[in-house]
Amino acid sequence: MELFFMTLTTGIMVGGIYALVALGWVLIFKCSGVLNLAMGELTLIGAYVTLSFYSMGVPFVLSILCTLIIGIVLGILIERIFLDKLIGEPILAVIMVTVGLSFFLKGLVGFIWGTDTRVFEPAIFSLKPFTIGFLKISIVYFWSFVLAIVLFLVFVAFFKYTRWGLSMQATADDETAALSLGVSARFVYAASWAIAFMAAGVGGALLGNINGVNISIGYLGLLVLPAVVLGGLNSVPGAIVGGLTIGILQNFAGTYLDGFFPGGVKEIFPFAFMAVFLLFKPYGLWGWIKIERM
């Protein structure tokens, strides 16, 4: 039981980071209907940007804030340069552009920072776990989870209480009605990419503290896709539930199945679960079900 609860706790904490990255997936899909397959690379860039600031002596919290600011700038630039001209074009064309972006950004990261694994030095969090009852909880997992949840709540408050956030929600619900009320679709798309870059970037920085920073963080960002599908591609609450669920399932698979199926079942299991889940709930737990009447 001790192993069970430790695995559960770690899964919840990693799932909090996945939920933050999943928010970026959901936001872009809600606003434009595009499945952004470059999200893993946005996560990767955020990890390296945070590491670069921290290596220059900037405190970790300020490094995160700098990553948020750079995420805004890069998100807007990518949307304006690569995607702005595709508004109104077939969704498949836009998705293929995001595939090209993923390769371009991955190559750019390798060119600037290389491919060797780098760590945050000096270490931000103590390696010694703290104990609650019989549970031993890693400090890096705990604080990463706390920071991820705080930022997630900030983003949710932005969508609910600010004029810009409400404009984005209106465009996601009914683009034609939003345009008739004076909402700029170009602004909404740029803002959605900026916020997605921010969420993914901070998620990458937190994952980099846990596993070290290297090119594989891009894969960890893509690992969030099952979480997004589980919750529903256009559901913000679904991103939370999906992220936590996938984090838990991944850790349980690593703890209880790796001994029987060696070779990375921990990484494969979320995608296998997603494939089976889609057979029964193709729109996710809270995804919009489209009904067409002839």
CATH of the domain at 38: 1.10.3470
SS3 label, residue 204: helix
Is 292 among the domain residues?
A: no
pLDDT for the residue 210: 79
Question: Is the Cβ–Cβ distance between 137 and 9 less than 8 Å?
Answer: yes
pLDDT for the residue 288: 62
Alpha helical stretches, state H, the chain: 2-32, 39-55, 60-78, 91-113, 139-161, 163-173, 175-180, 185-211, 217-222, 225-231, 236-256, 265-280
Judge residue 250's burial from the number of C-beta atoms within 10 Å of its C-beta, 0-12 exposed, 13-18 middle, 19 or more buried. buried
Is 213 among the domain residues?
A: yes
Is 294 among the domain residues?
A: no
d(Cα 59, Cα 229) in Å, to the nearest integer? 35
How many C-beta atoms lie closer than 10 Å to residue 119's C-beta?
A: 14
Is 6 among the domain residues?
A: yes
Q: Tens digit of pLDDT per residue, the chain (294 long)?
A: 788 888 888 888 888 888 888 888 887 887 777 788 888 888 889 889 999 999 998 998 899 899 989 988 988 888 888 877 777 677 788 888 888 988 898 899 989 998 888 888 887 877 677 777 777 778 878 887 888 788 878 877 887 788 877 787 777 767 777 778 777 777 888 888 888 888 888 888 888 887 788 888 888 777 888 888 888 887 778 888 888 899 899 888 888 887 777 767 888 888 888 888 888 888 887 766 665 555
Is 45 among the domain residues?
A: yes
Domains of the chain: total = 1
- Domain span at 145: 2-280
pLDDT for the residue 127: 66
pLDDT for the residue 53: 93
How many C-beta atoms lie closer than 10 Å to residue 182's C-beta?
A: 7
